[in-house]
Amino acid sequence: MLKQQLQFPLYYQAIHEALPDPVLAQYFFKHFPTPQSLHNITAEEEEELIQYDEETFKPLLAAVNLGTIAVRSPHDLYGQAASSTTVGTALIDEFAGEEQEMVVAMCTDVHNKIIATKQLFIGGTSECSTYPNQVFRYALKVGAYGVILAHNHPTGSPTPSTADMIFFKRMEAAGKVIGISLVDALVVGRRDYYSWQEARQEDDVATC
């Protein structure tokens, strides 16, 4: 347990504050030693906690569930200028705890404001060879001028893979053919994100 405590100090601090009784805290950490284990709590595990000490654990679980709803609720990005920082930061929270790769498309108008957003795929990028067709079909349906694509890395690292970079270039080329620009492509990690356009701008500056 010491290893987890050193790895997740804020988690352990929060639980100790919520459970000042060391016996109850020890019982809780035995079952949920990491934030991820608490995120994946089952109905049976919730019932077991309540049966152990309803007065203590029922309000704690209610707070946990409320926090999960708040964090996972879609951010209101509609009408906002589609900046990499705004979108990337919002999606760090939105993808939090996801164990599968998910792809989200955000469509923009001629003024670069977000007019529509939709989760299109779940699964690894290598499994989805029909991405361009489906992404641009959705973009055309909503009358988009541009598209921002974002997907998460459940490993927590936002570093794009070789497959990611190939995919970004395919999407940019396909967009040029049908007249819809790829505004940006984001890879979202646990605490940070990678922006394809920001990286390209940095490379341009470095070569000047």
Q: Last residue of some domain: 72, 95, 116?
A: 72
pTM of the shown model:
0.61
Domain identity same for 171 and 132: yes
Q: What is the reported pLDDT for 72?
A: 55
Q: Is residue 192 part of a domain?
A: yes
Running along the chain, 208 residues long, what does each successive block of 10 average in pLDDT? 69 89 91 83 90 92 76 53 76 78 89 87 56 87 92 88 89 92 92 89 65
Q: Is residue 78 part of a domain?
A: no
**Can you tell me the distance from the alpha carbon of 64 to that of 14, in angstroms, rounded to the nearest whole number?**
11
Q: Is residue 42 part of a domain?
A: yes
Q: What is the reported pLDDT for 75?
A: 52
Tell me which residue of 32, 10, 9, 36 sits closest to 154, measured CA to CA.
Answer: 36
**Domain containing 170: what range?**
84-207
**Can you tell me the distance from the alpha carbon of 102 to that of 104, in angstroms, rounded to the nearest whole number?**
7
Q: Within 13 A of 51's CA, how many CA atoms are on the CB side?
A: 6
Q: Is residue 196 part of a domain?
A: yes
**Can you tell me the distance from the alpha carbon of 202 to that of 199, in angstroms, rounded to the nearest whole number?**
5
